[in-house]
Amino acid sequence: MTAQTHKEIHLVNRPEGMPTNDDFKFVEKNVPAPGENEVLLKTLYLSVDPYMRGRMRDVKSYIAPFELNKVLVGGVLAEVVESNSDLFKKGDIVNSNLSWAEYNVAAPEKLQKVDPSQAPITARLSVLGLTGLTAYFGLLDIGKPQAGETVVVSGAAGAVGSIVGQIAKIKGARAVGIAGSDDKVDYLVNELGFDAAVNYKKDSFEEDLINALPDGVDVYFDNVGGDVSDAVINQLNRNARVSLCGSISSYNSPGEDVGPRMQWKFIKTSSMMKGFTLGDYAKELPTGAAALAEWLQEGKLKYDETIVEGFENTPEAFFGLFKGTNLGKQLVKVADPDFAKL
């Protein structure tokens, strides 16, 4: 039987610097009942993503900030436990952007059905979901890597970066990753097939980076910003392309992010820098999803997940994004399915 009550995670403070447990509150509520043409969903997994930190600030951006004392919203993989819709039945697995709650009610048009036979269901929150698509469009549309060119990706052991490097290899480019530990460097080279990788936390980072780039940088996929990106930009080749995906190094900074003025470098090399969000490619998402699924089935893409068990541990999983504790996609396992055959 479905539980009578469940918990939601609310944002109760706008964090200054690194978020803490005091910024979040678990609120107990009655499990909602689905109305006409709605379904009741039991949360199985939550997607934990760096962009959510930006939504905790009350500033104008490409997406509205989270409201205080309201439930947080993010990627959710869920099971249909009650359906008043002809489009879904009990036991169906779906994913959508939903409340960080143990149960959700949703209209069917907001849900995407997940086929468990295609790949493990969690792939829909990573390589076959928003992170994989972010890597696909940010690299191929903006970076446009060509065979023989050098592609550098920061945050390379994360959910997006790890896919970027592998797509670069599929396109015949040389992939160089930047990560935060020697273990992650080893993972990138020996597990994912990057041509080289460097540890940005080492004192020798800039020297190591130069040594890994004998032919300079043709494409830079930037997930982190800050000093790491300053070092990469100094190595840009003529007509280089920089794809700006994220700036996690500054997400918890209380002030403005300040660094070297790089305009001269882009003029000197006739290079291009462009920011993007996945919403820019809304009409093209099916094309990207089909390509990612094909590469995954062909064994050309690998992916990893860091899964934290327990809804109550969701804030800790979120904090881990900024400490570099995750390898690949950060997820929270909330519950096992009741009806689905997985």
Write down the pLDDT at residue 84. 97
CA within 13 Å, CB half, 82: 14
pLDDT above 90 for 60: no
pLDDT interval class at 33 (50, 70, 90): very high
Write down the pLDDT at residue 247. 86
pLDDT per residue as tens digits for the range 171-210: 999 999 999 999 999 999 999 999 999 999 999 999 999 9
Region 75-94: mean pLDDT is 97
Q: Is the dihedral of CA 74, 78, 84, 86 positive or negative?
A: positive
pLDDT interval class at 253 (50, 70, 90): low
- Of the candidates 15, 103, 6, the one whose C-alpha atom is nearest the C-alpha of residue 315 is 15
Write down the pLDDT at residue 256. 67
pLDDT above 80 for 162: yes
Region 51-69: mean pLDDT is 89
Is residue 156 within 8 A of residue 197, CB to CB? The reply is yes
pLDDT above 80 for 62: no
Residues 6+ apart with CB under 8 A from 26: 7, 8, 9, 10, 312
pTM of the predicted model over 0.95: no
- Specify which residues 79 forms β-bridges with: 42, 93
Residues 6+ apart with CB under 8 A from 19: 53, 56, 252, 315, 318, 319
Write down the pLDDT at residue 150. 98
Region 312-339: mean pLDDT is 94
Write down the pLDDT at residue 312. 97
pLDDT above 80 for 258: no
pLDDT interval class at 12 (50, 70, 90): very high
pLDDT above 80 for 250: no
Backbone angles phi, psi at 178, to 5 degrees: -120, 125
Q: Percent of the chain beyond pLDDT 70?
A: 97
Question: Which tokens is 148 given?
Answer: 């023989």
Region 250-269: mean pLDDT is 80
Write down the pLDDT at residue 117. 87
Query: What is the Cα–Cα distance from 95 to 132, expressed in whole angstroms?
Result: 15
Backbone angles phi, psi at 79, to 5 degrees: -115, 135
- Give, to the nearest 10 degrees, the angle between helix 285-297 and helix 159-170: 80
Write down the pLDDT at residue 324. 87
Tokens 């709605």 correspond to 38
pLDDT per residue as tens digits for the range 99-122: 999 999 999 999 999 999 889 999
DSSP readout, 34-73?
A: P-TT-EEEEEEEEE--THHHHHTS-S--SSPPPPTTEE-E
- Of the candidates 127, 171, 128, the one whose C-alpha atom is nearest the C-alpha of residue 151 is 171
Question: Which tokens is 195 given?
Answer: 């041509």
Region 237-260: mean pLDDT is 82
Question: Which tokens is 87 given?
Answer: 């489009």
Return the DSSP state at 155.
Answer: S
Question: Which tokens is 50 given?
Answer: 């760096």
First to last CA, the chain: 20
Cα dihedral angle (222, 227, 230, 232), rounded to 10 degrees?
Answer: -60
Q: Is 111 left (phi over 0), alpha (psi -120 to 50) or beta?
A: beta
Query: What is the Cα–Cα distance from 46 to 69, expressed in whole angstroms?
Result: 20
Is residue 150 within 8 A of residue 176, CB to CB? The reply is yes
pLDDT above 70 for 254: no
Residue 164: CB atoms within 10 Å? 31
Is residue 11 within 8 A of residue 68, CB to CB? The reply is yes
pLDDT interval class at 255 (50, 70, 90): low
pLDDT above 70 for 147: yes
Write down the pLDDT at residue 3. 81
Residue at 243: amino acid letter: S
pLDDT above 70 for 1: no
Write down the pLDDT at residue 63. 84
Q: Which residues of 193-221 are buried (b: 16+ CB within 10 A; e: fewer)?
A: ebbbbbbbeeeebbebbeebbeebbbbbb
